[in-house]
Structure 1
């Protein structure tokens, strides 16, 4: 698929796909077309066996995603707004529920929909100039793409409510302290650090990586029992070639070569 608002770059050697939100004149703000492209890119990545892991970032050094396209929002009514929220949630859930690790490289402002997009990724690495926030109440709105849910999951109810109600922005070092991001690095090192983190993860058994992600997500799914999901996934590992390879490599004191089967 050809993308208008995204850059989709797969590095064949590592299997790392970099998806870049590319609307620099709008500080990479999300409009409906961009959200649809994120959904399509995520689905394409999940379906492509050559893709082993994903880095999601924004173009330029000022903004990861500065928010939603406000002019577009003003054209919505109650019915179309609900559908827009549902489409955004569907797109972001594809990233969250991916069996392939997804890391956000947050290179500047991650506000509103941008903060929601970053939180949908499995991990977040922030540049020192990154800023996070859910400022929707300033517009008479609330987050619509999962922000009230994921922010609470990541930093706890009390602090999440504070940030949602005050619309305060959080600097990168404070986001690290709160648990909103995993690492903070200089802007110039952001993509290289994120890539090296992902490369280290991709040396592990692919099937086990995907099952870990699924079990963590099960904890937050009211329709699933997390402990049972873990027990089932643990048992599933014992039928895999990766388990046999991993245990053999350990006993033989050699590096494992995993097949993802």
Structure 2
């Protein structure tokens, strides 16, 4: 049984699923490497336009595998495998969260482009409760997502946020009844049906613009706008509006 699975439930959509239910999807080095490899594979698959990251029906991931972590010294911690593959994915990644997303599990969600959560979902950075500092980006991405004070509340207390509270803070885009995967796949299929060069440019400009000045971000946006005039899909978009029909995008 694979601990990381790839499924293709609809045209243009792939699901990356964590599958270590016996340890509540705890993240060890093998899982982290397989997640990075899965993203690399899907980013080179021309049939895929959007990706869903999910865990089980009752837990997303409880965080790092503590049995692996407990054996490390400082050198081992320096050498520990980490990655930002979801953050740098050229294709949109949607997190579909059922149950608990704690520690490193929540840090992977913070790398995703947006989050669909079931009503039973909870989000927490629990590292402080065992004397650890987050090591997968939470201290930087969480303040950028929910603001400095809300982030410090979560980081310093380790208190879980409910799906409703995460939605109120702007962390979760939608809270759904039942399993979050169905809605995430529906949205991924919608994104996959959009002109893919435009989708890629929008994602890239937003990511880069957040870490630069406003003026530089506007310049990036303007360049992205200009580049689209060299694409066949924009011409098809214009034509479909003029002719009152649905567009047929090819990704060119």
1:24 alignment partner in structure 2: 21
2:70 alignment partner in structure 1: 74
Counterparts in 2 of 1:43 and 1:223: CA distance versus 1, 3 Å:
farther
Q: How far does the alpha carbon of each residue in 1:9-52 deviate from its partner, in whole angstroms, 9 at most, with x for none?
A: 124x5121111100000100101110000000010010111222
CA distance in 2, matches of 1:219, 1:168: 31
1:5 alignment partner in structure 2: 3
CA distance in 1, matches of 2:101, 2:203: 23
Instruction: Flag structure 1 segments of 5+ consecutive residues without an equivalent.
Output: none
Q: How far does the alpha carbon of each residue in 1:234-256 deviate from its partner, in whole angstroms, 9 at most, with x for none?
A: 11101111111111111111111
CA distance in 1, matches of 2:139, 2:240: 44
| 2:122 is the counterpart of 1:131 | yes
CA distance in 1, matches of 2:134, 2:213: 23
Secondary structure of 1:105's partner? strand
Aligned with 2:96 (options 85, 95, 105): 105
How many aligned residue pairs are there?
251
Instruction: Flag structure 2 segments of 5+ consecutive residues without an equivalent.
Output: none
Q: Is the 8 A contact 2:97 2:181 kept in 1?
A: no
Deviation of residue 114 (structure 1)? 0.7
Secondary structure of 2:85's partner? helix
Q: How far does the alpha carbon of each residue in 1:66-103 deviate from its partner, in whole angstroms, 9 at most, with x for none?
A: 1110111111122221232xx42x2xx22122222211
CA distance in 2, matches of 1:202, 1:47: 15
Secondary structure of 1:8's partner? strand
CA distance in 2, matches of 1:39, 1:216: 22
| 2:44 is the counterpart of 1:54 | no
Q: Is the 8 A contact 1:10 1:16 kept in 2?
A: yes
